[in-house]
């Protein structure tokens, strides 16, 4: 369980654009702020480049984890269209997961690639099934 939480913590820090407080991280991960302090110390002991400042929060140095993903324009459209299709289907339980995936893909693509990915002008529309 701790290993999964450490990966989730790294993921939260990797996706953040600014420092995140221990309290916010604790709320997102369903643990206490003290657990976040211990987990950050564990990750730092494993050489994860996490910076922390009192009153500001924690931040993961840029470029840590995965190299930027490279998609050609057709691949980028396919991924974004699929994610938007899932997000358009309310009540399926996957909307939040699709948003998280979208954020992860955009972050992994680097600044320019991520901005292009989020700006794709694609809409996904679903039809409601008729009862009966």
Domains assigned to the chain: 2-60 (1.10.10.10), 66-132 (no CATH)
% of the chain at pLDDT higher than 90:
33
The residue with greater pLDDT, 76 or 23, is 23
Angle at 104 between CA 100 and CA 108, to 5 degrees: 175
Within 10 angstroms of residue 98's Cβ, the number of other Cβ atoms is 18
| Segment 49-67, tens digit of pLDDT | 999 998 899 999 876 765 5
| Segment 79-111, tens digit of pLDDT | 888 888 887 776 667 888 888 888 877 777 667
Q: What is the pLDDT of residue 65?
A: 60
* pTM confidence score: 0.53
């Amino acid at each position: 369980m701790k290993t999964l939480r450490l990966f989730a913590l790294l993921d939260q820090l990797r996706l953040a654009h600014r420092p995140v407080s221990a309290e916010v991280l604790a709320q997102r991960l369903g643990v206490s702020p003290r657990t976040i302090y211990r987990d950050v110390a564990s990750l730092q002991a494993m050489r994860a480049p996490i910076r922390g400042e009192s009153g500001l929060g924690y931040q993961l140095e840029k470029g840590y984890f995965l190299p930027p993903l490279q998609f050609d324009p057709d691949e980028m459209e396919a991924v974004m269209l699929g994610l938007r299709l899932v997000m358009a289907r309310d009540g399926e339980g996957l909307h939040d997961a699709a948003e998280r995936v979208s954020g992860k893909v955009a972050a992994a693509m680097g600044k320019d690639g991520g901005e292009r990915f989020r700006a794709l002008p694609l809409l996904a529309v679903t039809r409601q099934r008729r009862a009966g």
